[in-house]
Structure 1
Amino acid sequence: MSAPLRIALADDQALVRAGLRALLERHGIQIVFEAGDGEALLAQLATQRVDVVLSDIRMPGIDGIEALHKLRERGDPTPVLLLTTFDDSELLLRATEAGAQGFLLKDAAPEDLRDAIARVARGETLLQPVSTGPVRARYQFHAADAPKERFSEREVAILRLLAGGYSNKEIARAMFLAEGTVKNYVSVILEKLDTRDRTRAVLKAITLRVI
């Protein structure tokens, strides 16, 4: 039997923290400590190891994204899953640029939250699908950014699943392909978009209207 996932929980609302704690503990996840703001979160992370940080984005003082910046600046690679009540693509972009592994709306189903924590703990990236308009507005098209080659229908389908946070194994299952085949497709996609990062590949594909 594997050890329970250990997480840090940060939210400025005590009732929200209490609700999340009760929910996650019912799903076998251990809350190592709670924090009411980013400053307290950073202080406790300096002395206590966790598998995942689950943090609200909007908090007084040091918010979730600023705390994430500071965490990465001091060399702490602990996976961070950010929660928000706002379906805001701008927040997604800021969270991604800061180094977040996951971004999820607070109204997600309990099973989705549990699954998201497990996935970022395994090193996966989880981007909840958001509207693409603000992404395109932020990253304007430049001819030099155009893909090196056209994308096939299958590559576009795989890109859409990547945008939904699916792993190679899940994409393989959804598309009835071998996992190794999906891995090869992803490598080709990253090459065409001239990036080594899946998350940035998705953002670039949205910008260029590939998906």
Structure 2
Amino acid sequence: MLVDDHALFRSGLAALLSSQDEMEVVAQADNGLDAVKLAEEVMPDLILMDINMPGSDGLEATRIIKDRMPYVKIVMLTASDENDLLFEAVKAGAQGYLLKHLDPEQFLAELSAQLRGEASISGDVAIKIIRAFSAHDVERQQTQLTARELEVLKLVGEGFSNRDIASRLYISENTVKNHLRNILQKLHFENRVQAAAYAIRRGLVEPH
């Protein structure tokens, strides 16, 4: 499902996605309010959501949709990764974000990574997430992760995909996914982005 108030960009993106065999655009909206209504009607697997829109913006729509349909993945669309609202969107449960100026091949590659749960974040957004969650670090540090889960968490923080983590640790991708699911549950995180930021906060990796 696509949500963007610029009709030309939205139609171009719809055409790009529809050209991919594994993707289908099931609905489109040009504002956050309609996005919420349509999401409840079509129940999409993924929503590409513009963060800045007149009226009800993408951030508010993300909060409402994630509250009502937590299983729906939401990826924000933005012209710049310095947008302060990106931090709020990720905190609200967004899977990550994609830059609008990416060329088609790179956009599709990064979108595929998002669908696999392999989101990446810039240093600025990561630092903001780290600071936001730092108040809960004491509680989280008391949560015991296994040695293997810590290894997986470190590699997630370094930006490796599930496939790369599996290769490095000589385990299957399904095992990596199981470890990541356990990590998110134990640390009370919504998604991989928050876990990666936490890994940086704990000093497992350096922010980049």
TM-score, normalized by the shorter chain, greater than 0.5: yes
1:16 corresponds to: 9
| Deviation, structure 1 residue 125 | 2.8
1:55 corresponds to: 49
Unaligned runs of 5+ in 1: 1-7
Unaligned runs of 5+ in 2: none
Residue pair 2:76, 2:97 contacting (<8 A) in 1 also: yes
Given candidates 150, 159, 162, the residue that maps to 2:154 is: 159
Q: Which amino acid aligns with 1:95?
A: A
For the residues of structure 2 that align with 1:75 and 1:143, how far apart are their CA atoms?
27
User: Counterpart of 1:108 in 2: which secondary structure?
Assistant: coil
Q: Which amino acid aligns with 2:43?
A: R
Is the alpha carbon distance of 1:72 and 1:176 closer, same or farther for their aligned partners in structure 2, counting shifts above 3 Å? Answer: closer
Q: What does the per-residue CA deviation read over 1:119-177, in whole Å, with 9 as the maximum and x for residues that have no partner?
A: 554xx43432311443444455788368469x99x95685244453622x33223x262
Q: Which amino acid aligns with 1:19?
A: G
Percent of aligned positions that are identical: 27
Residue pair 2:153, 2:196 contacting (<8 A) in 1 also: no
Is the alpha carbon distance of 1:163 and 1:15 closer, same or farther for their aligned partners in structure 2, counting shifts above 3 Å? Answer: farther
For the residues of structure 1 that align with 2:68 and 2:175, how far apart are their CA atoms?
38
Q: Which has the higher helix share?
A: 2
Is the alpha carbon distance of 1:172 and 1:88 closer, same or farther for their aligned partners in structure 2, counting shifts above 3 Å? Answer: same
| Structure 1 segments (4+ residues) deviating >6 Å | none
Given candidates 13, 30, 35, the residue that maps to 2:29 is: 35
User: Counterpart of 1:47 in 2: which secondary structure?
Assistant: helix
2:198 corresponds to: 204
For the residues of structure 2 that align with 1:78 and 1:92, how far apart are their CA atoms?
18
For the residues of structure 1 that align with 2:68 and 2:41, how far apart are their CA atoms?
13
Residue pair 1:25, 1:31 contacting (<8 A) in 2 also: yes
Residue pair 2:31, 2:57 contacting (<8 A) in 1 also: yes
Spell out the pairing of 1:60-75 with structure 2 (5 A cutoff). Answer: 60-75=54-69
Residue pair 2:153, 2:199 contacting (<8 A) in 1 also: no
**TM-score normalized with structure 1 length:** 0.71
1:101 corresponds to: 95
- Count residues in correspondence: 197
2:122 corresponds to: 130
For the residues of structure 2 that align with 1:81 and 1:64, how far apart are their CA atoms?
10
For the residues of structure 1 that align with 2:178 and 2:69, how far apart are their CA atoms?
31
